[in-house]
Amino acid sequence: MPGSPNFAQLRAILWAQFRAQRNYYLRAHKAGIFLSWFSGFLWYSLWVAVGTGAALLTSGAVRPDILEPALVSALFFVFFFWQLFPVMLASSGAFLDVRRLLVYPIPPSQLFALEVALRLSTGLEMFLVLLGACVGLIINPLTPLWTVLPLLLFGAFNLFVSSGIKTVLERLMQRKWIREVLVFAFLGILVLPQLVALMGIPKPAVAQLEKLAALSWLFPWKAAGHLGTGHPAWGPVFVLLAWTAAAYWFARSQFARSLRLEEFSAAPANSAPRSANARLEAFYRFPARLFADPLAALMEKELRALVRAPRFRLVLLMACSMGQLLWLPIGLRRGAEDGFVSNNYLTLSMSYALLVLSDILLWNVFGFERGAAQAWFVTPVGLRVVFQAKNLVAAFFLLLCLAFVTLVVIVLPVQFTLLQFAESLAVLSVMATMLIAVGNLGSVYFPRAVDPTQAWRNASAGKTQVFMLLVYPLISIPISLAYVARWALDSESAFFAVLTVDLAIAATVYWVATDSAIEAAELRKEQMITTLTASQREGPISSS
């Protein structure tokens, strides 16, 4: 019955999904499964060690007068990491796709409980830290057993807040301009600590922070830390319960709103003026002025698909802005006027942009098409033309990103000359050609379906991550030789001469790699199509 309190319906659906995913992974490449599990083992082993440190902290290894401030600081770190870090990484972990379950008679309370439980996937590291702190409090002879309850309640508070934030961001990310504003806000939060460390905190801000510190008893981590050290007081109890209740209401109300069918309706009709649409159409049709069909038609199709994908627009925005923000504090540091970062600010910014764009633009060129990629094996258009169209569009967006980053660097108070622009263009040409060449091979051997409407970033497969870790150092070797030649001979001509040779080598690698990718695609087409269509058969539990 729909109102039944048991979880029989939900368990049946989850069990079916578990069987489907198990069968999928059993057919997958065993080396990829091993690398994924091994990297996860190393990562969570590190956090088990951190949790062990938290247990030592609360087990009586430090003086009682130090325990409370240390625990409060640790709980604030837990809150920050659990809530903000996944947003900065554009990752929502495992989440419930409600649209796939609305047709089943499952009570909303059960769906909400599952959604909250899945929030552990974005804070499992912090859960290990909290668990370690609880173990330490249990074995601490100076703290009563009830001190673990405030920490468990603080964990529930984080689960509810994470669930509400994820639901709100999913809805906001569907709106173009709000999405871009949120990205800039998150990037500002990311670079703020670096700017504070470099320039200090302004005096007016210090005065406001002092006033805020006087109200620190109202913060949930302060209340949980005070109670967790064995100091019972009604004030912290009320504060922690009030925050947890407010977080529960926030998460439950946002989840209830996500259950409404109109939340999943199609995007509103385009209200842009006709002049803007005309300019956009001219942009889409621009390849026809430079190339003949079918190459021009394929490039137009690729431009339309990428520009209309919220996921690609988000990544492009981050690539064009995040590099400058990350390197800016170092470039503005005193005494850095003649340093490596200042002299190569544009090159470093574009290298980071290329790294950000590679996963979505170079390494998985058939990802957005998913099952529709099978059309390339039955149409009269050859795969070589398909690769050329996708690679040319990728080169266009990289040059567009270079132009935008250059304009930003000109405005910023960092060193910039035309010679530095020429160096950046040469280095980018070599790196991009090599990455595109290897990316064509990776797109055939390690294809991965990507939802273009999902703004959150899916993590790359384990095989792709290891592949990239091996490729990037190899690509950097010939480029490093150019910098060594300039340093050894004190000549810019030597720098560009080596890069010219590197570019010739990169073009040769591109030609050979593309031929190999075409041959491999013909042999692996069934496996490619099966992998690219797998996401269209996945269950209600997704991962991003």
* Least trusted range by pLDDT, from 132-146, 262-276, 321-335: 262-276
90: pLDDT strictly greater than 80: no
Looking at residue 527, what is its pLDDT? Answer: 78
pLDDT tens, position by position, 435-446 = 888 888 888 887
Q: In terms of pLDDT, which residue wins out, 273 or 202?
A: 202
What is the spatial distance between Cα 254 and Cα 267, in angstroms, rounded to a whole number?
A: 19
Q: What is the DSSP string of 443-495?
A: HHHS-----TT--SPPPPPHHHHHHHHHHHHHHHHHHHHHHHHHHHHT-HHHH
- Reported as a pLDDT band with limits 50, 70 and 90, residue 208 is low
Residue 242 confidence (pLDDT): 93
Q: Residue 118 — very low, low, confident or very high, per pLDDT cuts 50/70/90?
A: confident
Helix (H, G, I), strand (E, B), or coil: what is residue 179?
Answer: helix
Residue 274 corresponds to which tokens in the numbers above? 């006709």
Instruction: Kindly state the average pLDDT of the residues 516-533.
Output: 81
> Is 344's pLDDT higher than 80?
no
- What average pLDDT is seen over the chain? 76
| Antiparallel, parallel or unpaired: β 541-543 and 94-96 | antiparallel
Using one digit for the tens of pLDDT, what is the confidence trace for 135-159? 888 888 888 888 889 889 998 998 8
- Structure confidence by residue, pLDDT tens digits, 56-82: 888 877 777 788 888 888 888 888 888
Instruction: Give the pLDDT mean for 91-112.
Output: 70
Confidence tier at 46 by pLDDT (50, 70, 90): confident
Q: What is the pLDDT of residues 304-313, one digit of tens each?
A: 888 877 778 7
Residues 282 and 295: their CA atoms lie apart, in Å, by: 17
